[in-house]
Amino acid sequence: MNLTSPYADLTMTQEVFHSNEPLHLESGEKLESFDLAYTTYGQLNEDKSNVIWVVHALTGDSNAAEWWNGLIGEDKFFDPNRNFIICANLLGSCYGSTNPFSINQASGSPYFYDFPQLTTRDLAASLEKLRVYLRIDKIQTLIGGSLGGQVSLEWALTLGQRLSNAVILASTSKTSPWVIGFNETQRMAIESDCTWGECTESAGAKGLETARAIAMLTYRHPDDLAIKQSDSEEKLDGYRPASYLRYQGKKLANRFNALSYWTLSKAMDSHDVGRGRGGVVAALEKIEAKVLAIGVNSDQLFLPKETQYISQKVKRGTYKEINSTAGHDAFLIEFEQLTYFLKSFYLQQ
């Protein structure tokens, strides 16, 4: 359907792709069919050479011009007047794509806790099926941050010469024990919710609030909290950081669900481009596209050296670093720096 976007002063489309072909998963399980909700901005040019494919992060959705409005939109770096921009809601997420609340064809009931395990490779494979359905032979730029960067890296490997440029932001070639540990802590918080295990859409909601609060501490940097959440008056309780984290937890629980969060955080844990390919270095060397890897100097989750490593091991890699106190989430905030890096990257071509 065609909609008028409040974020990019242009017409956009929002559709759902339904695949009747089974998706064979790394776990050995399969989805007999699946849906991917996706949004497009702009139009394909005559030779279909203007495709920009965006992959969202853990709790994102397909409305890329909303959550990345400093980068996507009229007169922005990715302008729908010039580019055909696509963003699909990742498999397992709760914004229109097949997820744990979807109907399991085998049972006729929602999957809930029986939803199959997904990996970043599986997520990339589902996007590839959407690409084929849309008859897009070449992607000019594939761009994603955090989990979206991991999925983009996996997909870049299999796209080969069908991809010209990959932009990987605040991401890694293999999830570190540090990140897995934080993700497991969040899942433990969800497990501690007495409603976890119930077959309802609200199961684990309070636990999800705590999980999000934990996550926010990994998305920010201590300096950022000191700048934005310090208390100006002396007190014994009711501190600003405490209320900020509680607010962020409730905010996510009101728009997301614990089962999708569980599924996608597990997918993040699984990320290893070298699995079954002779190791990370051997896998990265097979990427044909030019790669711009962008780290964040204050990122304490996906360390900048991990992002830089990607640029060092691919055939044609460039590394740039965002300077910000914001921490991991700087890739969603520091639009001026991102635009500058992207402009110089494209000028080199």
| Residues 161 and 183 reside in one and the same domain | no
| Residues 256 and 124 reside in one and the same domain | no
| Residues 282 and 218 reside in one and the same domain | no
- Active site residue: 19, 260, 328, 329, which one? 328
Domain assignment of residue 19, given as a range: 2-176+272-347
- The domain boundary, picked from 207, 242, 267, lies at 267
| Residues 97 and 245 reside in one and the same domain | no
| Residues 153 and 12 reside in one and the same domain | yes
Q: What is the pLDDT of residues 193-234, one digit of tens each?
A: 999 999 999 999 999 999 999 999 999 999 999 999 998 899
Number of structural domains (the chain) is 2
Distance CA 215, CA 308 (A): 23
Query: What is the per-residue pLDDT for 143?
Result: 98
Size of the chain, expressed as the number of residues it contains:
349
This prediction's pTM? 0.95
Least confident segment among 4-8, 85-89, 305-309: 4-8
- Report the CATH number at residue 247: 1.10.1740.110
Query: What is the per-residue pLDDT for 231?
Result: 86
Distance CA 37, CA 56 (A): 13
| Residues 171 and 211 reside in one and the same domain | no
- Report the CATH number at residue 163: 3.40.50.1820
End-to-end, the C-alpha distance of the chain in Å comes to 36
| Residues 29 and 104 reside in one and the same domain | yes
- The domain boundary, picked from 267, 291, 324, lies at 267
Contact (Cβ atoms closer than 8 angstroms) between residue 83 and residue 73: no
Distance CA 64, CA 43 (A): 16
Give catalytic status of residue 56 as yes or no.
no
Give catalytic status of residue 324 as yes or no.
no
Distance CA 342, CA 188 (A): 39
Average pLDDT estimate for 36-46: 96
What backbone phi and psi angles, to 5 degrees, belong to 269?
Answer: -55, -35
| Residues 285 and 224 reside in one and the same domain | no
Query: What is the per-residue pLDDT for 168?
Result: 98
The alpha carbon of 96 is separated from its chain's Cα centroid by a whole number of angstroms, namely 15
| Residues 231 and 314 reside in one and the same domain | no
Residue 128 has pLDDT above 80, yes or no: yes
| Residues 66 and 203 reside in one and the same domain | no
- The domain boundary, picked from 228, 243, 267, lies at 267
| Residues 13 and 136 reside in one and the same domain | yes
- Active site residue: 5, 19, 97, 146, which one? 146
- Active site residue: 299, 311, 324, 329, which one? 299
Query: What is the per-residue pLDDT for 348?
Result: 81
| Residues 255 and 165 reside in one and the same domain | no
Q: Where are the alpha helices (DSSP H) in the chain?
A: 64-67, 120-133, 147-159, 177-191, 205-219, 222-229, 240-253, 258-270, 280-284, 304-313, 335-347
Give catalytic status of residue 299 as yes or no.
yes
Give me the percent of the chain exceeding a pLDDT of 70.
Answer: 97
Token code pair at residue 306? 């991990």
Q: What is the DSSP letter of 173?
A: S
On average, the pLDDT of the chain sits at 95
